[in-house]
A and B are shown apart, each in its own frame.
Chain A
Amino acid sequence: DGGITQSPKYLFRKEGQNVTLSCEQNLNHDAMYWYRQDPGQGLRLIYYSQIVNDFQKGDIAEGYSVSREKKESFPLTVTSAQKNPTAFYLCAIGGRGLPGNQPQHFGDGTRLSIL
């Protein structure tokens, strides 16, 4: 969707390495979300943030970390503790409120692979 920028589009991680995925939005939305999508699977919520300097764990937060220092930015770090990081990572934005209350608009995603 226009206004949500995820980078990079493809990312490769070495064993034991932390990597950070970028998500930026210029639509002035309060809420931002990170999802993980595995082949043939639905989306699983990693973290979400409804306001600057605050974020909540989703269903699969272990091995991931986030920050929300600016309204426009919600980077996701995949740490070395995440043993199976290969997946398609999607950032989404929505109005303030819990994820299920508002329609979500997704970025183009980042495909992360293990080297």
Chain B
Amino acid sequence: GQQVMQIPQYQHVQEGEDFTTYCNSSTTLSNIQWYKQRPGGHPVFLIQLVKSGEVKKQKRLTFQFGEAKKNSSLHITATQTTDVGTYFCAGRNRDDKIIFGKGTRLHILP
């Protein structure tokens, strides 16, 4: 079945370094959502991207939706300890199904 692949699975960065997670779909997506889940917590909605090539920023976070609407990325500039958690993308396919990636777990080294 259709998958939404997310890479890397894990990422360790020094505090202050940048971090990027990538989301790739085998088919075109209608939209893509990003969520953050802190350890032991529940996913929290961050943003939704709908348009081809769309770029949105939230403070140190930059979200992109690819021109072909098959991939997306989340970039965090100058990571802080509060950025720790797992970042999930969730894409809606043409069958109107939402498919979550397996997430990228971010660890921050002090």
Determine which of A59, A100, A107, A109 lies in contact with B30 in the assembled complex, contact meaning CB atoms within 8 Å.
A100
Beta-carbon contact of A90 and B45 below 8 Å: no
CB distance from A55 to the nearest CB of B (A): 16
Determine which of B4, B45, B90, B96 lies in contact with A105 in the assembled complex, contact meaning CB atoms within 8 Å.
B45
Interface centre among B6, B42, B90, B100 (most CB of A within 10 A): B42
Beta-carbon contact of A42 and B42 below 8 Å: no
With a cutoff of 8 Å between Cβ atoms, the chain A residues found around residue B91 in the complex are 100
CB distance from A43 to the nearest CB of B (A): 4
Q: Which label, helix, strand, loop or mixed, suits the secondary structure of the B interface?
A: strand
Beta-carbon contact of A103 and B48 below 8 Å: yes
Total of A-B residue pairs, C-beta within 8 Å: 59
CA distance A1 to B35 in the complex (A): 13
Q: Which label, helix, strand, loop or mixed, suits the secondary structure of the A interface?
A: loop
CA distance A45 to B100 in the complex (A): 9
Report if A16 contacts B (CB, 8 A).
no
- Write the chain A residue with the least CB distance to B48: A103
Beta-carbon contact of A42 and B98 below 8 Å: no
Determine which of A42, A98, A99 lies in contact with B102 in the assembled complex, contact meaning CB atoms within 8 Å.
A42
With a cutoff of 8 Å between Cβ atoms, the chain B residues found around residue A106 in the complex are 42-44
Give chain A interface residues in 83-108, CB to chain B under 8 Å.
Answer: 90, 98-101, 103-108
Report if B72 contacts A (CB, 8 A).
no
Report if B33 contacts A (CB, 8 A).
yes
Report if B12 contacts A (CB, 8 A).
no
Report if B103 contacts A (CB, 8 A).
yes
In the complex, 7 of the A-B residue pairs with CB atoms within 8 angstroms, ordered by the A residue number, are A40-B9, A42-B88, A42-B90, A42-B100, A42-B101, A101-B92, A106-B44
Q: Which 9 A-B pairs have the closest CB atoms?
A: A100-B92, A42-B100, A100-B98, A106-B42, A103-B45, A99-B98, A43-B100, A98-B96, A42-B102
